[in-house]
Amino acid sequence: MRVNRRLLSWGVFLILAGAIPLAVRAGWLTNEQIAGWWNLWPLVLIGIGVGIVLSRTPFEVIGNLIVGGTFGLMLGSLLAVGISGFPGNFCGGDVGSSQYAQRNGSFDGAADVSVVFNCGELELTASQDATWSFNGSGQEDRAPTVEADGDSLRIRSPERAWVPFSTSSEHWQIGLPAAVPLGLQVQLNAGSATVRPGAGELRDVDLQANAGSIVADLAQALSIGSLNVQANAGSARVTLPDESMSGQVQVNAGSIEVCIPSGAGVRIQTGGGLSGNNFADAGLVQTGNTWESSGFAVATTQIELQAEANLGSITLNPTGGCGDA
């Protein structure tokens, strides 16, 4: 029987890429055990070298298997943990030493807040008074754009060339008035973000983690009009308030964890492929693509979510909660 060597290496790659997230999900491997597998990339060079040395021999396939297996291990661990789970991430650990100009102001009423953060550590919390504030540090020539008026606040990092493992990052601290109804949008492109807007009214919440990690504590919110959480090669952890609401969560090569108050009724519509969830372990009953908690129809608090996972996982009420790692 003749074996197609190219397809064999692809098969090994796909098997390992899929088996590792399943092994983590089953508890056979931990995130800590696989987080360092990204550093196996030198084996790719070794595999290429082996293939060259053994070319035109029956053992040439060994080089292809090393390359395919290494890429499978790297991708599988990446899918299981999310890029944000790997040491070093895509941002350097050194924060630029330049202090950005402090900004503050107030809103005339309900307001929309949009934050686009590209690399480093972002902290968004409730302010101590009725004003918003911005403090930050980073590179002097990369100060963010801050635009504000009576009903909006927009803070955006400057566009940057994408360079893996950049040696420079930023640290932002944003305070928002809890007494003002807010529409909140946070887009994180590498790094980590903590979002704790406090005890206020959130008209809508839109969180996006791209190659980074967002931890959002919304437990104190008086209401949330709508919720949209997306993780792309990253991770998000969201704690919801004891208030009825609807929203959607989507993960593409990463993970999302959602913490829901005890006693709340939950209904989740699922979609996507090559994904994992713990909805059955969390006590939800499946009917077709719908998962529902017992007594949902009569629950005082009803939370309805559209959930889609592509090469990722969605976890409901994980052990240890949805706080900081």
Q: How confident is the model at residue 31 (pLDDT cuts 50, 70, 90)?
A: low
Contact by Cβ (8 Å): 267, 296: yes
Choose from 68-72, 161-165, 280-284 the range with maximum mean pLDDT.
Answer: 280-284
> What pLDDT was estimated at residue 65?
74
> What pLDDT was estimated at residue 168?
64
- Region 282-287 average pLDDT: 94
CATH 2.160.20, domain 99-316, yes or no:
yes
* Buried b / exposed e along 292-322 (16+ C-beta atoms within 10 A): bbeebeebebbbbbebbbebbbbbbbeeeeb
- Checking if the pLDDT of 49 tops 90, the result is no
Query: Which segment of 68-82, 106-120, 124-138 scores lowest on mean pLDDT?
Result: 68-82
> What pLDDT was estimated at residue 128?
85
- Region 198-211 average pLDDT: 93
> What pLDDT was estimated at residue 167?
47
Residue 293 has what DSSP assignment?
-
| Beta bridge pairs of residue 152 | 112, 149
Contact by Cβ (8 Å): 213, 144: no
Question: Pick the residue with more confidence: 155 or 313?
Answer: 155
Contact partners, residue 141, CB within 8 Å, separation at least 6 = none
pTM of the model: 0.75
- Checking if the pLDDT of 57 tops 80, the result is no
> What pLDDT was estimated at residue 155?
97
Per residue in 121-178, pLDDT (tens digit) is 999 999 988 999 999 998 877 789 999 999 999 999 886 544 444 446 889 999 999 9
The CA–CA distances, whole Å, from 172 to 9, 17, 18, 188, 195 equal: 45, 36, 37, 12, 12
Choose from 6-20, 96-110, 267-281 the range with maximum mean pLDDT.
Answer: 96-110
- Region 90-96 average pLDDT: 58
> What pLDDT was estimated at residue 54?
67
Contact by Cβ (8 Å): 120, 139: no
61-81 vs 5-26: helix axis angle to the nearest 10? Answer: 30
Per residue in 163-193, pLDDT (tens digit) is 444 446 889 999 999 999 999 999 998 889 9
Per residue in 227-272, pLDDT (tens digit) is 999 998 788 999 999 999 999 999 887 789 999 999 999 999 998 6
Domain ranges of the chain: 5-81, 99-316
Strands (E), 118-218: 120-126, 131-138, 145-149, 152-156, 170-176, 182-196, 201-217
Q: How confident is the model at residue 197 (pLDDT cuts 50, 70, 90)?
A: very high
> What pLDDT was estimated at residue 255?
86
Number of residues assigned to the chain: 325
> What pLDDT was estimated at residue 191?
86
> What pLDDT was estimated at residue 20?
72
**Cα–Cα distance for residue pair 72/217, rounded to 1 Å:** 34
- Region 274-288 average pLDDT: 87
Question: Pick the residue with more confidence: 55 or 188?
Answer: 188
